[in-house]
A and B are shown apart, each in its own frame.
Chain A
Amino acid sequence: MKLLTYSTKRYLVFSVLLVVLSIPIFYIVLEKLFIRAVDDSLKHQAILLPEYTKHIKSEADIELWKNLDWDIEVNPANGIAIKQRPYTIIEHSKGAKESIQFRALEKDVRLLDRDYVITFKSSLIEKEDLVKAVLGLQIALLSFLFLGYLWINQYISKKIWKPFQGILNYLKTFELDKGIINSNTDLVIDEFRELNYSVNGLVSRVNTAYSSQKEFTENASHELQTPLAIMRVKLELLLQEEHLSESQSKLIDEINGVLTGMEQMNTSLLLLTKMDNQQYPLNEEFSASELIKEIIEELDFFIEVSQHHISYVEETNTSLLGNHQLFKQVVTNLLLNAIKYSAPGSEIRIILSSKSIEIINPGEEMPFKKEKLFERFSKKQGNSKGNSLGLAISFRIIKLHGMKLAYVYQEAHHHFAIYF
């Protein structure tokens, strides 16, 4: 859920609640106020009563007064006690269907030696209208407030959240060794400025850690070269000893094998680190055709024995831009794999087109998932030799060149292709 939707939903619920609760409260308060005002006016009339009554001299005067003043009822007292406080009466007039509410105040008075009860009345019909109007106004006000809130929020979210979106996009596409966020834009909101600052701090700390780790790997690999070199020459000297027994000789051979593996792994790690550190220039121009021919010739030494038939088809000679040494390593590795994982005597096809180099060889399907193929240290089971970094390195090299290394298994053939 988006932040805006979230807050708007809450606000909507709150404002509906507010309206629903405020209407009865408002109604009650308003009614009370109105009735008090009416009561006050009735009391005022009652106080002014003696001013009227002193003019009454006869029964006829009383009748006239009754007829002239509609808001007053004059009735004989008949010994009934009067109500001291104002009260509400509901009258059903014959003409109108609706009933009308009145507020009434009774007052006793002595006229011409008789007790009368004077009832002052005031219609409450205006009250209904007033309450309706005020409520309508209130609802309209709340609606406008809500719409205004929505509009301001939409507008603000688009404008104010812009730097936040910028930071979010930066983090989404974050890659190690990438620069910090461009903080040229002055940020108005403190929180965002702080976020920007924190993200930049985090990124530079991560970058520092990453580069010192890379540096460490490179140094470690370099430092390992010398002891490895010493071990290797000592073993070679040991092999020259006269009267070596067969078992001793075998031991030396086994150590030699392990040592070679270690050297290769070290070389691979160094290669990967140097690639990470962009220590290989990628601006050499070379002919793909010549490169492939060169590799085929170099691998003669395998092919002579394995009797593979290499058929090289050149659709067009393509000139490539990149690192010759690295690129050669990839093609060599792919071709060696093709030789290794296909039966002796089978045909390996290399096709060079303007878009790709394809290497196709027959062979069994790999026992692991295709996605794992280019990962470090995944290997065919039962094949304990080789450090399985080959394809991972090839993948990295091709990626470094901005090209694509793809693999498919089709009709009992492995297809590896480098797309330029």
Chain B
Amino acid sequence: MKILIVEDERALSESIVAYMKQENYVCDTAFDYQEAKEKLALFDYDCVLLDIMLPNGNGIDLLEMLKKENKMDGIIIVSAKNSLEDRIFSLNVGADDYLSKPFHLAELSARVQSIIRRRQLGGSNVIHYKTITIDMLAKSVTVKGDLIEITRTELELLLFLLMNKGKVVSKSTIAEHLSGQSAMYFDNFDVIYTHIKNLKKKLGSSGEYLKTIYATGYKLEA
């Protein structure tokens, strides 16, 4: 899997690369408009991370250019402006997703994965992980062949951890992923703890794959 990170802030770009590399992505970077334009013209990427505000240009122009050339790259727009208009505009122009700064790397990783999965031809809607099978269409989970009863939140939580398997995901990252906009008023992580506890219980012996890291975060074994 090859991704291009178009981000002028080097510190941010480097961190994204460091995180994504651990998930076996091949990462390429571009720090300004011209560089991004050249790389996009020369190579094909599975996913492109595009910052709107770039030196010497606008990310949206690059997006429009890609769409004109019928490139199949999946695109995630990253913007410092968390405005609804920007979000709607980006999606209308043809972006696959929109992420506002500041974001969690785990969140970014999950978004990239779901875009790649959606775009892969013949991509199956069933995800296998060790003894666990998740049917994305039926929204059902089977453990060792047995269908388990799982709430919407728990499924969402399991998927999120799965997309970041082998990584420590902090409670605040999970909270923001699960609650979205309402995380703004979120200040109690006991809720996350309870959800994890319930999920573990439902997974039975397979719940052992889910590790608590010093009560600060959670990790699903790679």
A residues near B (Cβ < 8 Å) are: 222, 225-226, 228-234, 236-237, 239-240, 244, 246, 249-250, 252-253, 256-257, 260, 263-264, 267-268, 270, 279, 298-302, 304-306, 325, 328-329, 332-333, 336-337, 340, 385-386, 390
Q: B189 → chain A, closest Cβ, in Å? A: 9
Residues of A within 8 A of B130 (CB): none
Return the contact of A264 from the options B81, B103, B184 (Cβ within 8 A).
B184
- Asked if A236 and B214 make an inter-chain contact with CB atoms under 8 angstroms apart, the answer reads no
Q: A335 → chain B, closest Cβ, in Å? A: 9
Chain B interface secondary structure, helix, strand, loop or mixed? helix
Closest to A297 in B: B152
- Asked if A226 and B170 make an inter-chain contact with CB atoms under 8 angstroms apart, the answer reads no
Residues of B within 8 A of A279 (CB): 83
Return the contact of A256 from the options B105, B172, B191 (Cβ within 8 A).
B172
- Asked if A386 and B187 make an inter-chain contact with CB atoms under 8 angstroms apart, the answer reads yes
A260 to B172, CA, bound (A): 8
Residues of B within 8 A of A256 (CB): 170, 172
Given contacts A232-B103, A236-B173, 9 further A-B contacts (CB under 8 A): A222-B81, A234-B11, A240-B22, A246-B214, A301-B178, A302-B179, A305-B195, A340-B188, A385-B187
Return the contact of A225 from the options B11, B80, B179, B185 (Cβ within 8 A).
B80
* Docked complex: B172-194 residues within 8 A CB-CB of A: 172-173, 178-182, 184-188, 190-191, 194
Given known pairs A226-B12, A233-B105, the reply for A253 and B184 (CB within 8 Å) is no
Q: B122 → chain A, closest Cβ, in Å? A: 32
User: Can you show 21 pairs from A to B with CB atoms below 8 A apart?
Assistant: A222-B80, A225-B80, A229-B9, A229-B102, A230-B15, A232-B104, A233-B12, A236-B19, A237-B15, A237-B19, A239-B168, A249-B214, A249-B217, A260-B172, A268-B184, A300-B153, A301-B195, A325-B84, A332-B185, A333-B185, A336-B185
A295 to B2, CA, bound (A): 37
Residues of B within 8 A of A234 (CB): 11, 15
Given known pairs A226-B12, A226-B80, A298-B182, the reply for A305 and B194 (CB within 8 Å) is yes
Chain A interface secondary structure, helix, strand, loop or mixed? helix
- Asked if A267 and B80 make an inter-chain contact with CB atoms under 8 angstroms apart, the answer reads no
Q: A310 → chain B, closest Cβ, in Å? A: 15
- Asked if A240 and B167 make an inter-chain contact with CB atoms under 8 angstroms apart, the answer reads yes
B residues near A (Cβ < 8 Å) are: 9, 11-12, 15-16, 18-19, 22, 80-84, 101-106, 151-153, 156, 167-168, 170-173, 178-182, 184-188, 190-191, 194-195, 213-214, 216-217
A269 to B187, CA, bound (A): 18
- Asked if B191 and A301 make an inter-chain contact with CB atoms under 8 angstroms apart, the answer reads yes
Residues of B within 8 A of A267 (CB): 82, 184
A234 to B19, CA, bound (A): 10
A332 to B185, CA, bound (A): 9
Q: B167 → chain A, closest Cβ, in Å? A: 6
Closest to B193 in A: A305
- Asked if A225 and B101 make an inter-chain contact with CB atoms under 8 angstroms apart, the answer reads yes
Q: B155 → chain A, closest Cβ, in Å? A: 11
Residues of B within 8 A of A249 (CB): 213-214, 216-217
- Asked if B179 and A257 make an inter-chain contact with CB atoms under 8 angstroms apart, the answer reads no
Residues of B within 8 A of A246 (CB): 214
A337 to B186, CA, bound (A): 10
Residues of A within 8 A of B188 (CB): 340, 385
- Asked if B217 and A304 make an inter-chain contact with CB atoms under 8 angstroms apart, the answer reads no
Q: A173 → chain B, closest Cβ, in Å? A: 32
- Asked if B216 and A302 make an inter-chain contact with CB atoms under 8 angstroms apart, the answer reads no
- Asked if A253 and B103 make an inter-chain contact with CB atoms under 8 angstroms apart, the answer reads no
A265 to B5, CA, bound (A): 28
- Asked if A332 and B181 make an inter-chain contact with CB atoms under 8 angstroms apart, the answer reads yes
Q: A271 → chain B, closest Cβ, in Å? A: 9
Residues of A within 8 A of B170 (CB): 236, 239, 252-253, 256
A268 to B181, CA, bound (A): 12
A230 to B14, CA, bound (A): 10
- Asked if A233 and B16 make an inter-chain contact with CB atoms under 8 angstroms apart, the answer reads yes
A252 to B12, CA, bound (A): 18
Residues of A within 8 A of B83 (CB): 279
Closest to B186 in A: A336
